[in-house]
Chains A and B, each alone.
Chain A
Amino acid sequence: MKEIILLSDLYFKQLKNNLSQINKEKVIKFLLFLFFSVIFFPLVYYLFFFIFKHFYTAQIIGPLLLKKLLYTFYMTFTVMIILSSIVAAIPVLYFSKEMDFLFSCPIKIESIFFIKYIKVIIDACWMIFMLIIPIFIAYSRVIKIDFFQYIFIVLSHIPFFIICVSVGLFLTIVLIKYFPGEGVRNVVVAIYGIFLVFFIIYFRMLQPEKITGASANEIMEFVRYLKTPDSIFFPHSHIMKIINNISYSGILAGISPFILFLSISIIFFAIIILIAKFWYFDGFAKKGVYNKRKIFIKSYELKKTSIFMAQLKKDIKYFVRDTTQWIQIVFLFGIIFIYLFNIFKLPVDLYNLREFIYFLNIGFIGLVMSAVGARLILPVISIEGRGFWIYKIIPDTIKNYILYKIIIYGSFLVGLGIFVAIISLGMLKTSLFINIITIFSTFLINFVIVGTGIGLGAYFADFKIKNPEDLITGLPGLFYMLITFLFVGLLLVAEAGIVKDYYFTRLVKVKEFHIINYLPNFILISLVAFFLFFSSLFIGIKRLEKLEI
């Protein structure tokens, strides 16, 4: 116990010192965090209030539907926490800088593990905990439960987190005992991303909008799809029992299952500490060991290529080998799939307005592609990491380096955007005019996304950060999103009048519609796009040229 208090004190002091050293960057980060929290909480609250109400007010079986929905969520949370605790545990348990020091001190392994366990539980669960707060405020309002019931429900997540994290840590200890640490982490990160995307696609394909005005048979069919495995061996079954008891029978009815759940979590905790006592150090001592392979290098033939192809090959290899990059692709296709599915499932009664809806969807494509660009394009320069110095000393210019990135990533993103637009236009069978406007707009939007993403990515390039995706959540991401969203808005404003006139002309047929009359609008928006593209690249190139490494 004395060791745990000593170690806790050490980490607490580090945290205190870190917090007390206030600098500009920390203040900006805190303000950004505050800003996003202010947006995040009401957004989650209203989203879930809408979903819960939509389900709860379904005829006859509303409460059952809501329970089924929560079961699905908790099953997802269980998998998410287990996977994210593995992702969080590997660096905390095996790759922290202080680990060698801690293991060289006369401290029991279980004491070190205990402290690390607390860190992992915070790292793996804080986001879900932050989600749970607004979700259950929405739930309380729909079900009409009081404040104490709400607090009890929120607190009953503690054993849920302990059990899920303990399972995650058990898997981590076993996996690291037999496989290299970084490799395990990369694979789990990939599985985590793929799982999330498939869950979102699965939920969308359930078509929850069908509940409104559905027949009893259709609702039963929906419930059948929401079926989740239910057993006393699953933590989500226990927490759901507690939530249901508290919600529908009062606080007293929740106490007994809560005590049972808490006891199980304590047992899990004790077991994982015991396992760690015997296996944790074994894994630590072997972490990251790779088997060396011998090759007959003398027969190696240089595959001669241009500088551009050499960079392309390097970027592709990096992409394939960095599993965090695969997730971008999975997310990308997930988003595109949902978008196309929405178009495909456009209600029949809106069919006559399909072209107008599609025009609005240009904006939606823009927002989706902006999000894709933020994940895929913004970090491409920072991804080079500390090896970027090589580009500064080779006999080539930074301008060319940026040009290669534009060709590699730009052609991919613009091509993808236009491909998605063509597929959806084909589904909607829109007129030639709308087809042209859509392709033109999609090209311009992606053009701006590529220029702004690479330009700002270069301007804010940080080769020392561990995860270049941090750019997305920081100032660079904010600027990028602001610029691309504003451009999408401006584009819609510039084209709205044209589309409106086109429809009125077709509907009323009072005057001829000549696209040539609207040429100034197209020229103006194209000029804005060119300005954003080139100005972003200009500041990015200048910054990289002057960058001191």
Chain B
Amino acid sequence: MDTRLRAILPDQQLLKFYEQMTLCREFEESCAEQYTKGHITGFLHLYSGQEAVAVGATAGLHPDDYILSAYREHPQAIVRGADPKVVMAELFGKATGLCKGKGGSMHLFEPELAFMGGYAIVGGQFPIAVGLAFASKYRREDRISVCFFGDGAVNQGNFHEGLNWARLWELPVLFICENNFYGIGTEVRRSSALADIHKRTCGYDIPSEKVDGMDVIAVYQAVKHAAEWVSGHGRPYLIEAVTYRFRGHSMSDPGRYRSPAEVELWKERDPIPNFARRLIDEGIATEDTLACMRAKAAVLVEEAVKFAEESPWPEDDEVCNDVYAPVGEEVCPWLK
């Protein structure tokens, strides 16, 4: 099999992967800085290290497919098409934010992009993804439901209830586990009787596979294939993407449960410079082109921060809005 990048995707798409991963990293590192400055408050879970999963997976999906994720989801929303400015403003809690400054870091939503939410409750999204898949099937739509989750979620009842249900009713759900080996500070082997997460689907007769989550191309190929399989068979599938977060669980986590040597080992596998090397080695990009893309990403993120800083706070009376539907309101007006 030809494993050269050009045999897999056109140059433009390959460069886009690099551009998106770089933007995600810049965005998250900037969030860390804004958190330190007190512009972002609460809890902030950063994605740095896992970019190949969001970028590769999103590219393997159809734009109409529903995406649900957990609480480390800023890059997933951005790669899906959300404007970094609007995402940053949301993290700041500003009125111009994606959810008008009320959802915050863990609850990004964008119905126009079929981005059906970040979920702060670990595993809360499983049955909701199943219900969306049902709605799709019921409405005779050819969209699948894609449910991202972490390794920590697989011991929640909702994981098992969701998998059983999706298979039982033959629903098009693609489950994507981002296994970064730690649920906060507890290593997956200390929390799961069977730490090979993809093997846990055997109890539900759901096919699954493991993929290198530090390799954007491997993720892209696996997700594209799996999404087509799910759509074609109308049945669930699970991918375990093995990855690593370079930062702590959240900004308040010093990460003492991991040895510096372990972190360094994984940083050598950083998906961004490794992919850059492949692009250069195969003559798809020069170091200059990539440096230029990195600079562009930095500018986009700077603009996002500026936009967030300059945006207004929500009005005080907004606090009581959006709890119940206004009388006579049409539900889901954006629904075609």
Q: Are A and B a genuine interacting pair, yes or no?
A: no
Q: Give the B-binding residues of A (Cβ under 8 A).
A: none
